[in-house]
Chain A
Amino acid sequence: MMKAYFTDLEAGIVKAINDGNSSHRKLYTLELARLGKRLYSGTDPIAWCGITAPFDLLNAMGVTSCFVEFIGAMLAATGVVGTFIEETDHAGYSSDACSYHRSVCGAAMKGIMPVPEFLIGTTCPCSGGLAVLENLARRFDRKLFVLHVPQEDSAGSVRFLADQMREMAAFVSRITGRKMDGGALRKSVEYSNRASATMREIFELACRVPSPITSRDFSNFGIVMALFFGREEAVTIAESYRNEFKKRIDAGDNGTSGRKFRLLWIQNRIQFRHGLEKMLEEEYGASIISDELNDITWDPIDPENPFDGFARRAISIPINGTTEKRIGHLKKLARQYRIDGAINPCNWGCRQGAGARGLIENGLKEIGLPVLNLDVDCVDSRKFTEGQLRTRLEAFMEMLDNREPLWQS
């Protein structure tokens, strides 16, 4: 089912591009389809991973790898996620658990998760994701390597994690029988660095007033780009985004015309089809121009000594560590992007998301930034109550309309 879905998706986008209907977003979706196709090809060696695994290292070793939450998001986007979540209900999983993770477990139970060569777990960003990988490792009878990501950014932490990543490379070699190719690793790091540098440019363009960004542009962008790190596609996609935004700025087409509000989306977007972002743009002139997970928080990685760089990158990710660190990062984004209001979906079942919402709200209010806390299951569309969410979002927009602008023009 998934292989056919990704194959059809790829064919559709290729046809659209060949018909002259290309765009940055189409290129991004095309590469997602190709990644999905590789994952479900049945021939490529694949690995299921945690979100902060070094995908460029795995790509350099010829392993198609992916964090499992991607599959949850894909199942949500295709509108079939309910079947898989129900499967976990039947098996006794708590309905309060994260739907990203439940859908993946359900997909494995129903036999639509390809059997991996191995699994790489990460202790960041959440213990739920690691539990899913342990679950899958047992189900598939495959080995799981766990990267313990330290929270503190220090030389000792970097050394500790870099050593684990070296061990991880040796673990992958043992399982796949492929030796690490120094040249391939250097090339991989170069692609990652070029993509990261271009993403920095993209985010700087997005900060402009008016911003060239519409709400859809950055949906799932930063977090999924990590899957392409180490491959040329990462550079191609990033350059396509940068060129599109430059083109919009040059043409004076700054995103949505008549825009009034610049919004920051906290954590992850709603993964299934819904009309809320369109409603915000069309009825209130409000666009999401920044996402918490869209940022480059690390320096270029040294191709001659990449493990320290990989480790620094994983440690630097704002969702690794304390809520205080997250708040600091969100405040930075709010200032950089001159944000009018932040929306926190508080993904149902996410302990990190829901548990931190009070602290995040209070932290952002310290700089005068209004925050709207929602109560959304970002994956399970069966729980979606659009009317209730519309009322909250509309009231938030009316409130912003009634306030003095937070940032001086």
Chain B
Amino acid sequence: MYYLGIDIGSLSCDAVLIDSGSAIAASVVVPTGARNRESISRATDEALRIAGISRTDIAAVVSTGYGRDRVEERLSSVTEITCHAKGITALLPGIRLLIDIGGQDSKAILLGKEGGVVDFAMNDKCAAGTGRFLEAMARALQVDIDDMSDMDAGAKGEQSISSMCTVFAESEVVSLIAGGTPVNEIVMGLNRAIASRILSLVKRTTPSYPDVKIAMSGGVARNRGVVRAIASLMGHEVAVPKDPDTVGALGAALIAKEKSTLQRRAAVSVSLSL
């Protein structure tokens, strides 16, 4: 038996298949694009292909992410907050504070010992400091977003980005480029601005953050410069799992397994009582 977790975010659609022993059988990331259902099918088909199984081998599906209600085959939908908490606890046991920066929102999640959500804080309406923000800045810098990861190398950290509104920050970056500010200084300024925004979420949920293990998930966790800036600002190590963007989908798959098991037990107990 296999369990499928699907995380439909604003930028990527992630699918993770786990087997009955909770081992990851497949992990897939595809762009979400304009048509959710197509990307869900694509991610699912690719996961099935990698695992070498068919749809009938899947016992349960749980969906998460902003498009979670678009997955028709779902057993249930669960928010990305709960799924990321579940996923990171499976990957990095002992983590108590999770920073998740996705395509359009960022979160600080305080976890209990068992990986349950104790508290969380999310960005307000503004998408500044999220994946979309970084995309816009990469566009302004005319660089590939994947290349931004280490573009802060050698920067002295003397350039701050004063505006965190995505639109204003983009024009600020354009002005800095025009004024001859080195790209590495601009990138470090952006990373620090994101870190500063994250720190306020962290302090709201986890005032004791210096004393707990911290990890980061979500697509932005692939950006080493942002992770470094967050770790530096907090004065604390930040662990990143091997596949940070599929943590939510993994959590969804684990919840699918739990829910499916509970349902089977309930069915058995009903049939026994009959």
Task: Decide: A370 near B79, CB < 8 A? Known: A375-B124, A387-B66, A391-B66.
Answer: no
Task: Decide: A398 near B81, CB < 8 A? Known: A375-B124, A375-B125, A392-B122.
Answer: yes
CB atoms of A398 and B66 under 8 A apart: no
Q: Of all chain A residues, which has the CB nearest B115?
A: A402
| B204: chain A residues within 8 A (beta carbon) | 358, 361
Taken together as a complex, chains A and B put the C-alpha atoms of A40 and B124 apart, in Å, by: 39
Taken together as a complex, chains A and B put the C-alpha atoms of A358 and B205 apart, in Å, by: 11
Q: Does A173 contact B (CB under 8 A)?
A: no
A391 smallest CB distance to B (angstroms) = 6
| A399: chain B residues within 8 A (beta carbon) | 81-82, 116-120
B75 smallest CB distance to A (angstroms) = 15
Q: Mask for B63-106, Cβ within 8 A of A = 1, else 0?
A: 00010000000000011111000000000000000000000010
CB atoms of A395 and B120 under 8 A apart: yes
B66 smallest CB distance to A (angstroms) = 6
A95 smallest CB distance to B (angstroms) = 13
Taken together as a complex, chains A and B put the C-alpha atoms of A303 and B121 apart, in Å, by: 50
CB atoms of B66 and A402 under 8 A apart: no
- Give residues 351-397 of A contacting B (CB, 8 Å): 358, 361, 370, 373, 375, 383, 385, 387-388, 391-392, 394-395
Q: Mask for B107-137, Cβ within 8 A of A = 1, else 0?
A: 0000010001111111011000000000000
A244 smallest CB distance to B (angstroms) = 34
CB atoms of A388 and B105 under 8 A apart: yes
Taken together as a complex, chains A and B put the C-alpha atoms of A351 and B82 apart, in Å, by: 32
CB atoms of A394 and B79 under 8 A apart: yes
A369 smallest CB distance to B (angstroms) = 12
Count residues of B near A (Cβ-Cβ below 8 Å): 18
| A387: chain B residues within 8 A (beta carbon) | 66
| B112: chain A residues within 8 A (beta carbon) | 402
| A370: chain B residues within 8 A (beta carbon) | 119
- Give residues 289-339 of A contacting B (CB, 8 Å): none
| A392: chain B residues within 8 A (beta carbon) | 122
Task: Decide: A402 near B116, CB < 8 A? Known: A385-B125, A387-B66, A392-B122.
Answer: yes
Q: Mask for A174-212, Cβ within 8 A of B = 1, else 0?
A: 000000000000000000000000000000000000000
B175 smallest CB distance to A (angstroms) = 24
Q: Which of B79, B105, B116 has the most CB of A within 10 A?
A: B79
Q: Which of B66, B105, B117 has the most CB of A within 10 A?
A: B117
Taking a contact as CB atoms closer than 8 A, the residue among A375, A385, A395 that contacts B117 in the complex is A395
Q: Of all chain B residues, which has the CB nearest A400?
A: B117
A247 smallest CB distance to B (angstroms) = 35
B185 smallest CB distance to A (angstroms) = 32
| B82: chain A residues within 8 A (beta carbon) | 395, 398-399, 402
CB atoms of B78 and A388 under 8 A apart: no
| B125: chain A residues within 8 A (beta carbon) | 375, 383, 385, 388
| B81: chain A residues within 8 A (beta carbon) | 391, 395, 398-399
| B79: chain A residues within 8 A (beta carbon) | 391, 394-395, 398
Taken together as a complex, chains A and B put the C-alpha atoms of A361 and B207 apart, in Å, by: 13
| B121: chain A residues within 8 A (beta carbon) | 373
| A403: chain B residues within 8 A (beta carbon) | 116, 118
| B122: chain A residues within 8 A (beta carbon) | 391-392
| A402: chain B residues within 8 A (beta carbon) | 82, 112, 116-117
Q: Of all chain B residues, which has the CB nearest A398?
A: B82
Taken together as a complex, chains A and B put the C-alpha atoms of A361 and B119 apart, in Å, by: 12
Q: Of all chain A residues, which has the CB nearest B121?
A: A373
| B117: chain A residues within 8 A (beta carbon) | 395, 398-399, 402
B209 smallest CB distance to A (angstroms) = 16
| B124: chain A residues within 8 A (beta carbon) | 375
Q: Of all chain B residues, which has the CB nearest A374?
A: B124
Taken together as a complex, chains A and B put the C-alpha atoms of A203 and B120 apart, in Å, by: 31
- Give residues 192-223 of B contacting A (CB, 8 Å): 204
Taken together as a complex, chains A and B put the C-alpha atoms of A4 and B143 apart, in Å, by: 59
Taken together as a complex, chains A and B put the C-alpha atoms of A383 and B126 apart, in Å, by: 12
Q: Of all chain A residues, which has the CB nearest B120?
A: A395
| B105: chain A residues within 8 A (beta carbon) | 388, 391
| A395: chain B residues within 8 A (beta carbon) | 79-82, 117, 120
Taken together as a complex, chains A and B put the C-alpha atoms of A260 and B120 apart, in Å, by: 21
| A375: chain B residues within 8 A (beta carbon) | 124-125
Taken together as a complex, chains A and B put the C-alpha atoms of A388 and B107 apart, in Å, by: 13
Taken together as a complex, chains A and B put the C-alpha atoms of A347 and B32 apart, in Å, by: 32
B residues touching A (Cβ–Cβ < 8 Å)?
A: 66, 78-82, 105, 112, 116-122, 124-125, 204
A-B contact pairs, 7 of them (CB 8 A): A395-B82, A395-B117, A395-B120, A398-B79, A398-B81, A399-B82, A399-B119
What are the 4 tightest A-B residue pairs by CB atom distance, in nearest-first order? A395-B81, A402-B116, A375-B124, A395-B79
